[in-house]
Amino acid sequence: MSTSINAYLNSFIRSLKQSLLTKSDYSELLNTNSLEDVIKILRDKKILETEARDLNELERSLFNRLYKLFTTIANLSMNSTHAGKISKIYLNILEIRDIQAILSSIANEKPINLAEAIFASNSQLVQKLINEGNSLESFSQILRNSELREASEFALKLFEMTKSISIFGSAMEFYLFKSIIDLIRGFQGEWRNYCNPIVCPIRDYYIVALAYRLKHYLPQSQMSQLANNMSCLLSKEQVEEILSTTDEEGLVNSLKRTPYLNDGILKESGNPIASLYITARRLSREASIKAFSASPFHPCSVLAIMNLKKLETDDVIIIANGIQVMMKPEKIKSMLSINVS
């Protein structure tokens, strides 16, 4: 099995890059007056494949489209060791939203509304959880018997401590990005130089977000060990300082001494964790674009295009939500991964 990607997959990926929404497209969406206008533009640009009557249907359609695309990339990557692993991890990342919804249904003892809650409807794992995961025990066992075993064991342990569905989901994503990081560590030269900056900001975001939220549940030594094994642009001393903060003001002051936070970004969101997430998404997007300037046939292009398509889908959903609640365009712009001037 090859470590590089084949010519057909390389061509397919580069065609996907050419189909990404432009700044002009984003401006057009931002200048709409209603959700119906957003849906019409997305239909005209063939971003939306089915009719959508409301925000939920729009999100479901966009998410299913993305899942199908990632499945295609994964199938085309089967003969490439690294690209195959990367594409499969990204499929798993898309499944987390539905896994959270199923866990919430079990925890709250309420039947899940499949029409509203499930987005990756083509996922075999999600379907198995819906059909057979009727209790926390069976839900946990299905995940432990899947390729998400290690991630789910970590996340379920935190869920048992916190009873937080949100922390469960964040922990799952944290562990899956850790899997990508572990893979990249084995790369050499150009591959590593282009892949690392794509996931680098995201992993730092999860380190800070989880550390801050879990400080009352996990010993600092345990979080410190996880952080020091994964952090990227954050030094060991900065990680230790963030872990020792006791309130939001302390977290803000700590983050201002990192590459991730300044007064301008903080003013846009008003929340240090949200600000960090915005910055991480922007840096990750920039690195994904730069990855295409490398020589062709490297697996980083698979990582880059899957990241860009996910960011694009998330951005479109952010715009649709903002338009729905009549948020000012400038405020919506501040939340996007792309700089729309």
| 54 domain-assigned | yes
Band (pLDDT 50/70/90 cuts) for residue 246 is confident
Residues 276/231, Cβ–Cβ less than 8 Å: no
Band (pLDDT 50/70/90 cuts) for residue 14 is very high
| 99 domain-assigned | no
| 334 domain-assigned | yes
Q: What is the tally of helices (H) and strands (E) in the chain?
A: 18, 0
Q: What is the pLDDT of residue 265?
A: 61
Least confident among 173-182, 244-253, 323-332: 244-253
**Total residues found in the chain within this entry:** 341
230 has a pLDDT exceeding 60 = no
121 has a pLDDT exceeding 70 = no
301 has a pLDDT exceeding 60 = yes
Which domain, by its residues, includes 23?
Answer: 1-76+299-341
Alpha-carbon distance 196 to 233, whole Å? 11
| 64 domain-assigned | yes
When pLDDT is averaged across residues 1-9 and rounded to a whole number, the result is 72
| 47 domain-assigned | yes
Q: What is the pLDDT of residue 215?
A: 72
70 forms beta bridges with none
43 has a pLDDT exceeding 90 = yes
Fill in the amino acid letter for 236: K
223 has a pLDDT exceeding 70 = no
DSSP letters spanning 1-21: -BSS--HHHHHHHHHHHHTSP
Alpha-carbon distance 212 to 250, whole Å? 11
Q: What is the pLDDT of residue 115?
A: 65
Least confident among 27-36, 55-64, 105-114: 105-114
Q: Can you give the pTM of this predicted structure?
A: 0.91
122 has a pLDDT exceeding 80 = no
Q: Using alpha carbons, select from 334, 305, 208, 303 the residue that is nearest to residue 259.
A: 208
312 has a pLDDT exceeding 90 = yes
| 170 domain-assigned | no
Question: What total number of domains does the chain contain?
Answer: 1
Three-class DSSP category at 53: coil
| 310 domain-assigned | yes
CATH of the domain at 311: 1.10.132.50
| 27 domain-assigned | yes
240 has a pLDDT exceeding 90 = no
Q: What is the pLDDT of residue 52?
A: 87
Alpha-carbon distance 41 to 32, whole Å? 9
When pLDDT is averaged across residues 217-245 and rounded to a whole number, the result is 68
Band (pLDDT 50/70/90 cuts) for residue 113 is confident
pLDDT exceeding 70 applies to what percent of the chain?
A: 90
Q: What is the pLDDT of residue 209?
A: 85
58-107 pLDDT per residue, tens: 999 999 899 999 999 999 998 888 889 999 999 999 999 999 999 999 99
Alpha-carbon distance 206 to 183, whole Å? 18
